[in-house]
Amino acid sequence: MSFGAGGWNTRVMIIFNVLHLLGAVFIIGPMAILPMLGLGALRTGNHAMVLRIAASLRVLNYLSLLVAVFGFGLMGTSSPEYKLSVTTPWILTSIILYLVAFLVTTFVVLPTLFTAGRAVTAAGEEKPAGYPALAASSGITALLLVAVVVLMVWKP
């Protein structure tokens, strides 16, 4: 069976590249945006929406691990001339930033969203319970994910 120019390894690398990019767009992108929508739902007192956003975010947060797996696959199938490994500075920094974003989402953003979604907000309350923690942690997560994207594109 012939795979033409580039051979099998090139085809596998292209598949990992496509999966990694699609995951970044359709999993990581919403993972960065959903907490902001949760803030809006909290401000309007729409607790059912906050719970739906939290549930969606939980799924996307764990699916984001697939994006990392596809990234490792892409790194492993890349041409030796690029000398890519986990110790390549921009890759290592990206991994660390992603892990911090994943952990902040898992242990701060999600519990705060679920708690706030279940709480009964007092009428006219300016900032519902958990709002400051959610705003800070979701902002940090978004900035970390933006930094990962910059590193993936820039490759310093």
Which residue, 96, 102, 95, is CA-closest to 32? 102
User: Residue 136 is which amino acid?
Assistant: A
Predicted structure pTM score:
0.89
Residue 53: the pLDDT is: 97
pLDDT at 141: 96
| pLDDT given at position 3 | 43
User: Are 112 and 134 spatial neighbours (Cβ–Cβ below 8 Å)?
Assistant: yes
Task: Determine the pLDDT at residue 120.
Answer: 60
Say if residues 145 and 32 touch (Cβ distance below 8 Å): yes
Q: State residue 45's pLDDT score.
A: 86
Q: What is the pLDDT along the chain (156 residues), one digit of tens a residue?
A: 344 455 678 899 999 999 999 999 999 999 999 999 999 998 888 889 999 999 999 999 999 999 999 999 999 998 888 899 999 999 999 999 999 999 999 999 999 999 988 886 544 455 676 889 999 999 999 999 999 999 999 998
Tally of CA atoms within 13 A in the half-sphere of 145 that contains its CB: 25
The set of residues, in sequence order, having a beta carbon less than 8 Å from that of 5 and lying 6+ positions away, is: none
